[in-house]
Structures are given as C-alpha cells and as structure tokens.
Amino acid sequence: MSYETIFDQSFERVKKIFKNKQSFFDAFYGNFINASPEVAKLFGNTGMAHQAKMMEKSFYGLFVFYATQNANDYLEKIAFQHSFHNLDIKPELFDLWLENLIKTVEDFDPQCSDEVTLSWRVVLSPGITYMKHKYSR
C-alpha cells in the first residue's frame, strides 16, 4: 500500500473520532499550544473552534503540494500570512507543529503504527518545507 493510501485511510479514521468531546483538530491545537509558551502567546485569544476548522481546510493545500509539487492559491496565501511579513512564524515552529500533529495521530488513530506515522510525515513534509521556505520571501 502506498504512503498516500495509508495516510488517506488514517486521516479518514481520525476525523471521525472524538475524545473527551474533542475532535482530532481541537486536540491537535491543544497539544500544540501546550507544547510551547511561544506558541501559546502567538495564538493569544484566537478562537480554537475557528482555528481547528481553518486547519482542516488548509490540510488540503498541504496534500496538494505533496501530490503536485505546486502550491495552490490557498497554500500560497497561508504561507505569506505566516511569513515574516505578517504573523512572523519562525521556521522551527513548523517542526514543532508536525511533531504535535504526529502525537495527536498516535492518540486518535486506533490503528496507528510506525507505517501510519511515517505516512503522515511523508505526505505533509513537502508542504511544511514550502511554508518554511516562504518565511523570508
């Protein structure tokens, strides 16, 4: 089975699961914010429900970058918004983002395995590299 298929199947599983009334995306944001005071400060008073919804939508942009090696308009806009011109999200925070995402997959996917977590890294890393690359551009 390809990494893309393993990722797709895991993604479908985690989206359906709620733990302590939290969706996968809610829990991911909770984990990410708790991981670093810098991240907590950057999010300030952002409504988590809104943020979790936007996150779900932006996943598609990361996936498209992996599949086509091109940023769609949405990912390009998000990258510019996170760059030093706007939100000023330092590139290393994207690694923390990915590590917390993987941690959340481990918590939510009942069929999680090394292959599953590797598939998330394989599929999302190109888009994250793009976001980091755009930081200073």
* Residues within the interface to ligand HEM (CB under 6 A): 39, 42-43, 46, 54-55, 58, 62, 78, 81-82, 87, 89, 93-94, 97, 128, 131
Scan for tokens 């769609």, then name that residue. Answer: 72
Comparing CB distances to ligand HEM, the nearer of 37 and 110 is: 37
Yes or no: say if 26 and 48 are a contact pair by the CB < 8 Å rule.
yes
Q: Which residue, 54 or 67, is less far from ligand HEM as judged by CB?
A: 54
CB of 55 to ligand HEM, least distance (A): 6
The count of other CB atoms within 10 Å of the CB of residue 102 is 19
Which residue is listed with tokens 């919804």?
53
Which residue lies nearer to ligand HEM by CB, 6 or 78?
A: 78
CB 71 within 8 A of CB 61: yes
Minimal distance in Å, beta carbon 57 to ligand HEM?
6
27 near 104, Cβ under 8 Å?
A: yes
Shortest distance, CB of residue 98 to ligand HEM, whole angstroms?
8
- C-alpha–C-alpha distance, residues 42 and 49, integer Å: 16
The CB-of-108 to ligand HEM minimum distance in angstroms stands at 18
